Structure formats: structure tokens, C-alpha cells
Structure 1
């Protein structure tokens, strides 16, 4: 059974490519997406059990991913929050982790690692 992924990414090309990779490689289904912080937080609050993994960019069209990560603090233990960002500084990695992110991947250099991570999650989700 595919695991349900929620994407928070404001770039439509990246969102579309990531959706294809996740669905083809990691046995995932993208259940919804948002391009801004407020939209993402509203969806997460209204669909607490509708996702297994949230993949969050830090820089969004409105707001930022740190607020989205923070909004996921009350999630179930089996739900994962993953950051995917071009701004992969040690400080951003630490801030994301402090807010509750389970993993952090550099969008320009670690897409393969993200896909591997999601593929491992799909095997534990069966």
C-alpha cells in the first residue's frame, strides 16, 4: 500500500518532478500540496490523519517552511516531516531538527538520498 505524501513546495516544476519520482520510485502517492505556509498549515490541521510523510521546502511563495514544520509537532509518531531545501546550511538543518523535522535534504545535491529515505519508509509502511 503506498504511503501518503504531502508536498509543501512553491515551484510547480519541482513539485511535478518530485511527485513523479516519489510515485515511481518510492511507492508513494501525493495526496495534496501547498505553495505557502498558511495553506499548508490549514491543510495539515484539517487532515491530521491523511498523510504519512510531509516534504517541506523552507522558502515558499508565502511564509516559510519553518512554520509548517512547527505546525506538525502534534503529529502521530509514525508520521515523518522531511525538509527539502536549497538552503541547506548547518544552521537551517539545526533549526529544522529543533522544530521537529525527521530528516533534511539539500534540494540541489541530495535528491537521491531523499528518494532512498522515502523508499525505506515505504518498506516499513507495508
Structure 2
């Protein structure tokens, strides 16, 4: 495990995600890589951990059940300015990426991100160039479908309102929503 040599003297890592299955799987993988992992499933839990002992590293989901992951980024940045923070989300958008970086996040990854990607993002030096493109990026159809699903959820699953916001015909949107997600 060459990665563990680059972690440094403080290997404390805070993982914040409301998907407990994903959280536990990522925690086990990061522990194998040499990190000392603390887990939180909410903004409140994460803030308590940050207040007690601010970690050197953090991976924070953007959308949590009790609030926004950027609140955790802000609290950690205040408690430990040099912490390396990765914002992880299933709803990647340029606006949220910019907001995360402005608030102090080191990097921004879209789900599904594996432990290798997270480790590379946490341990990369600021001098390194942009990371290489992903080996299996989302297709354009998948990106479109994800965007439609996000707007649909923001409209409380109201088809008419979603169609209006996306400037689509309602029946076209209904056909898209009835299909399975593209790969």
C-alpha cells in the first residue's frame, strides 16, 4: 500500500454520508489504506466530530438528510484550515463544485467514486496537474437522465412542474421517466 506512506503523521479521516452501506464500505476500504476513519451520517454528527477532534482529511457528501455537506466543510475549515476536504455527490454540477471549492474543499468528486479515486484526491499535491480523465465516464445520455431526475426530485416528483422547468413537453418527460436509466 504505497498510498499509506503519503498520508502523513495524522491519518485521521472523517467520512460523512447518509447512505450507510456506501459509508461503511468506503470506511473499510480507507482503513485498509492506512487512514484512521471516523464516520458520520448527518451534518450534526459530523459537526460534533469536528468540534471534538478536527480530522486531517474529510470526504463529505453534498446532500445529507439534515442539511448541506457544505456546512461540514465550513465547520472543518474553521477548526482546521489545512485539512484536505473532498466533496462527494451524486448530483454533480458546476455551480456546486465552484461553491464547494470556494468554501475550502480541496476537490470535488461525483458518485460513484471508488476508494482509489478518493485516496488519489485526498493525497494529491496542489502542484499536480489535473487528474487523468476517468476510465469509464458517464455517457451523455446518463448525464442527461441524471439531470432530469435531479430536477424531478427538486419539484417533489411533479411531472408538470418538472417539464415546465426543463422546457420539455410533459408527455415527452413522462416517456423519459418511464424508461430505465442509461448506463
Please report the TM-score for the alignment, with normalisation by the length of structure 2: 0.57
CA pair 88-64 structure 1, distance change in 2 beyond 3 A: same
CA pair 52-95 structure 1, distance change in 2 beyond 3 A: same
Q: Secondary structure at the match of 1:88?
A: coil
- Is 1:40–2:67 an aligned residue pair? no
Structure 1 spans left out of the alignment, 5+ residues: 122-126
Higher strand share: 1
1:4-40 deviation per Cα after TM superposition (whole angstroms, max 9, x unaligned): 111111111100110122122x32121x211111221
Partner of 1:13: 21
Q: Secondary structure at the match of 1:10?
A: coil
Structure 2 spans left out of the alignment, 5+ residues: 1-8, 126-183
State the Cα RMSD in Å: 2.0
Partner of 2:71: 67
Higher helix share: 2
Report which of the two structures shows the higher radius of gyration computed on alpha carbons: 2
Structure 1 moving runs of 4+ over 3 Å: 75-78, 118-121
1:12-71 deviation per Cα after TM superposition (whole angstroms, max 9, x unaligned): 1100110122122x32121x21111122112211223xx210110011121110111111
